[in-house]
Structure formats: C-alpha cells, structure tokens
A and B are shown apart, each in its own frame.
Chain A
Amino acid sequence: MRLYPVLFTLPVIAALATGALDSAGPAQAQGPEAQRRVALPNPPDRAPAPAPAWHNTSWLNTDHPLALPELKGRVVLLNFWVFTCWNCTNTVPSLVDFDHKYRDHGLTVIGIHTPEFPPYAGEHDRGNVERALRRYGIEYPNAQDNDSKTWDLYRIRYWPSFVLIDKRGNVRYEGYGEFHLNDGSYRTWDQRIRELLAE
C-alpha cells in the first residue's frame, strides 16, 4: 500500500508571488497575540472611502434590488456569508438583533450571500438560500453573489466578513469572524453602528 501525502505549500508561494496576501484589508495575524486578535473586527486602516457600487440582480427579502444611492442617509451593514459556513450562521443571531434594534433608527443590514464552491454544492440555488433565510429568521435583504463580484469588489477574503457604511456612503469599518450576542465583538459592532447612526 502506498501513501502519497501532499503538503500544500505552494499556495502560500503563489499567494505571495501575486501579492494577494499584501492587499488592503484586515490586518494579518503575526504571532500568538495577533492570532488571538485575528477573528475580531479590525479598526479602519485607511481614510473613509466611497463604498463600491454592487450590481447584484438576484435579491431576497426585498421587492427590488437595493442600490447604494437609495441607501444614502442610512447606515448600511454588509454581511458576506454563505449558509454552509458554520461561523457565518453562528453570527446570524447577532445580525438579526441589529436589524431588529436599529432598522427603524436608520440601519439597513444586507446579506451578501457568496458561495464557496461551484454550483454542484447547492450554494448558488435560490431555493436553498431562501430556506436558509427562513431557518435562521433572517428578514433583512440578501443579495445572491453567485459570481463573487461583490465579494471581489470589496476585497473580501473570509466568511463571514462585515463592512459598515456610513450615511454618506463611505466605508468606515471592516472586519471578519464569527461573533455572538453580547460578546466583545458584538459590543464593538454595536457601538460602531450607534456611532454612525448618531452622525
């Protein structure tokens, strides 16, 4: 019997060669301290910049595709997720809570459902996404990002990720990683939302 172990070291080389690991976005983990911080939301590392316009055409929980111009004057929390991601679905209760608490105060939570795998895995299927929304009690709008264009537009690299956009349409905070109701990360995002709502 033969065993062929494959240590996948080339991806790191490939990523470094293409500069993929050095692109703007969440701070990279370096050392034990950084590893403890890796799942926490990150502070903004650049001046506020206009949020890129997404062009998703398949939406759920809304009667029309949402666009940035119509959201001016509202704070927008984008959640990049996929229903096959345990870390993502574990975070949903917090997002549902934000939606319930702040929708009437000017917050719009938007799920950007971005599949990890090709269509054979079922993540692209609208019916599967609809069932996931019902299962997790998600009432806020969701866009199907089956071609990952919005994911790429926002330079997202992790499931789940979050982008908080202010009333003027500028990206103010970005972060990633599972969090739970009333834990430290939840409180940080809650504070950021309230800060932007008060502006």
Chain B
Amino acid sequence: MRSTRPAALALLALFAGCARVSPDEAPLRLSVAAEGPGTRLALHPAPHFKINARLVPALESSDGAVLRFASGRLTADSAYFAEPPSVLVSGRRAEVHGTLRASVCRDDERVCRQVVIAL
C-alpha cells in the first residue's frame, strides 16, 4: 500500500541566494519510503529545477553524522543529477530529523542557490 500525505517536517528553511519564488515553485521535496529493512530518503527536484551533483545533498543529524545522497545517473555534463538522489538508512523510519542541505539550479537561471532545511 502506498499513501501520500503532507508531513510537517519542515520547521524552518532558508534560502541563501533566493529569487522570489511562489510556494508552488518550491525547489525540492523529500520522500521517505520503506525499502527492505531500511528506509530510503530521496530528493525530488520540482519542475525546472536541477540538483547540483558536484555538491551532493547532505542530511546532517543532531549527533554529527552526515548522510550524503547519491545517484548513479548524472546529466551528460556530470553537473546535475539525472534521477532523484537518495540514501538508504537503517531501520524503518516514519520521520526524519536533522538539517538537509542541497544546491539547486533552475533551468532559466545560471546561478547556484543553496537550500537549507531543518527537519
């Protein structure tokens, strides 16, 4: 069974390098899904956004551990992820806590912007 519901995980998020964007232009969403005995976290860019593969997204936990997202497929220039980067964490988790960092680019821009989200 697969269900989808909004999760109130984002407590605070700040853009460093932020043009005016409407809420429906939010650059990323995080999915949390059971996979075997673990949980897979994946980052999905919104339409017109790309995730910087040279600076792979990271999830920092409060104990100092850092999980890095990865994907086997990159764009031809190796600059961006061609599929959602993900990371498999141990155990089943319904919630994720920590700080998520990603560097994203919008198709119609030629700049990098940082996204930092406290989960």
A residues near B (Cβ < 8 Å) are 1-12, 14-15, 20-21, 28-30, 35-36, 38-39, 82, 84-88, 116-118, 120-121, 123, 157-161, 176-179
Instruction: Kindly provide the distance from the CB of B116 to the nearest chain A CB, expressed in whole angstroms.
Output: 8
Instruction: Kindly provide the distance from the CB of B81 to the nearest chain A CB, expressed in whole angstroms.
Output: 12
Q: Is B23 an interface residue (CB 8 A)?
A: yes
Query: Which residues of chain B come closer than 8 Å to A82, judged between CB atoms?
Result: 112
A38 to B109, CA, bound (A): 6
Do A4 and B32 contact each other (CB < 8 Å), given the known contacts A39-B110, A116-B103? yes
Of A1, A29, A120, which one neighbours B66 at CB under 8 angstroms?
Answer: A120
Of A1, A29, A118, which one neighbours B20 at CB under 8 angstroms?
Answer: A29
Of A7, A28, A29, A87, which one neighbours B110 at CB under 8 angstroms?
Answer: A87
Q: Is B62 an interface residue (CB 8 A)?
A: no
Query: Which residues of chain A come closer than 8 Å to B9, judged between CB atoms?
Result: 4, 6
Q: A84 contacts B3, CB within 8 Å?
A: no
Q: B21 contacts A12, CB within 8 Å?
A: yes
Do A116 and B114 contact each other (CB < 8 Å), given the known contacts A2-B94, A11-B15? yes
Q: B13 contacts A10, CB within 8 Å?
A: yes
A29 to B55, CA, bound (A): 25
Of B10, B54, B111, which one neighbours A8 at CB under 8 angstroms?
Answer: B10
Q: A11 contacts B115, CB within 8 Å?
A: yes
Q: A84 contacts B34, CB within 8 Å?
A: no
Of A2, A10, A177, A179, which one neighbours B109 at CB under 8 angstroms?
Answer: A177
A7-B29, A35-B108 provided; 5 other pairs, C-beta below 8 A? A4-B4, A6-B119, A14-B12, A87-B110, A116-B112
Query: Which residues of chain B come closer than 8 Å to A158, judged between CB atoms?
Result: 17, 111-113
Q: B54 contacts A178, CB within 8 Å?
A: no
Of B2, B19, B23, B115, which one neighbours A1 at CB under 8 angstroms?
Answer: B2
Q: B31 contacts A39, CB within 8 Å?
A: no
Instruction: Kindly provide the distance from the CB of A145 to the nearest chain B CB, expressed in whole angstroms.
Output: 13
A28 to B111, CA, bound (A): 14
Query: Which residues of chain B come closer than 8 Å to A39, judged between CB atoms?
Result: 108-111
Q: Which partner residue on chain B sits nearest A22 by CB separation?
A: B20
Kindly supply a per-residue 1/0 record for chain B positions 15-36, scoring 1 wherever the CB is within 8 Å of any chain A CB and 0 otherwise. Answer: 1111111110011111111100
A35 to B34, CA, bound (A): 39
